[in-house]
Structure 1
Amino acid sequence: MNSPHSSPSPALVVDNVHVSYGHVDALTGVNLQLGFGQITALIGMNGAGKSTLFKAIMGLVRPTSGSITVNATGSRGTVAYVPQHDHVDWNFPISVRDIVASGRRRARSKVGLLPQGSALWGLKSWRQEKRENNRIIDAALRQTGLTDLQNRPVGALSGGQRKRVFVARGIAQEAKIMLLDEPFAGVDTQSQSQITALLHELAEAGTALLISTHDLDRLPELCDNVAMLNRRIVAEGALEEVLTAENLARTFSTNTADAQLVASEEAQR
């Protein structure tokens, strides 16, 4: 499933990252690389540190040691995030288009064609940027099949449509790295297939995708690479090589009390 737009340089490098909540280690010596045009599934039980890893990549949690390097230089929004269903206030009165448009605020402003010293530079630049933003937003809505729904309140959509709204926001952001937290949870089979096809489109265009999921049955059609996390990387690599009974047992067995503490801390941060 590697894209023809993939690059030999990794999009993201997580190097020996440690994150602690008090006396409990949420992540211990995590090493991971994401490739451009590659879909990597991140699997592990609740409390394994998946949300902590996402937050560390996004800069919301500071590692106690180690480093995270984003190599998507020159891209606009760099890292986009598609949240879990229960992490969003669906009663907030906002339209589909407004959410997608919020991705443009993460992208860098474009420079106008007139010299900056010109009296008309600011107006010309603003008009050009507005037109360009609308073009990109329209394209993101079209790619995700949401054009006809763009003026609806997001809370009125189905679970699968809501997921696509946040994928569209990432597309509008022009991000080259996308993190998706349980994108198949709470959506029907048809929506799961639509989302999977959309993710493959993004990978084909060169986007690096890291997808947290509990749906192990979907992995063969979703990705060609998997990272198995139990506060450290148990195994990482090609799906058919690392998804073994031994690795699954090591991934889904842990200290229950510590896992509950990590899960609780992740929910609060």
Structure 2
Amino acid sequence: MRINFSDFDMDESIVTPIIYGENRHSTTNRGVVISGETKWELKKFLSGFNASVGTEQTPYYRIDAYFDEQTVWLLEINASFVDGWGTALNLARASGITVDPTSLVFPKRFTSKSRVYLPELQLFVSELAHLGLHDHNICEWNGNGVDPIYVYGRVGSKDQPNVLPFDGLRLDNKLNLGVFSREWTGDVVKIPQHYISRFNSWEEIPREVVLKFCDKGSVECERARQSVMFNKPSGKAPFIKRCYNAETLIAQDIVRPTKQDGSNCQLIIFAIGDEPVTGYVQYSRSEIINDNSTHGPLRIS
């Protein structure tokens, strides 16, 4: 099997009790193992994706993926607000999963645009120290300074060369994965079919799809009050249709998640450049899986 569930011998005394705000961190030792073959194809995918979007500095990615025993379906690539590193590294350490510290290339300074993410960011800095990567510190957010800084929050433009993830807002656009899907062919790593107005008319979109706003911070997304919607509207839906024709919204075929004890399962894979580094598994009974889910370890062989 290329991707399989595994029960890890987890040291629960290591697992952090809180990651966001004051909410209890729900975890399980039931995790997932990704094979070396799958990791190799992920690297190949990332290399091609980076070339397609034209990265100018090393990007940081948080990838949402569904999976079964033979396939990893890449649903979304987040390149601007890339948080969760502390959770992944903490679960890895608690589960005896080795993470290569040389792959964790970050600046010395970190910050968060919202205090609710500080516990997870503090955990990240602590886990870096456990891996022998010291002298990182958390600072106040003050915009674009002269020293590189990694930000928890939606950031990243070319006029802020020292703010990481660099150029994150452009790379985060959901059009990128859709366009690249037309040239990517993978054996293990696959992308659901995308519908983009330059290639497909509104009428060509099937009923059962996921509709996504390309920019989660856009005026259109704020008006809709949600970044993801299920199924193509049956009526005229002038606003949604107008967004699709303007390519501020795309459609994506629905992929059904693997279930474990009645919960939907999703992988969160973190990558730097073209290197898959670490991640974790989310278990949730909700259709849209967020970080208020239960987390399990992920080993990328």
Compute the TM-score of the two structures, normalised by the length of structure 1: 0.30
More helix by share: 1
Larger proportion of strand: 2
TM-score in terms of structure 2 length: 0.28
Q: Which fold has the larger relative contact order, with Cα–Cα distance below 8 Å and residues 6 or more apart in sequence?
A: 1
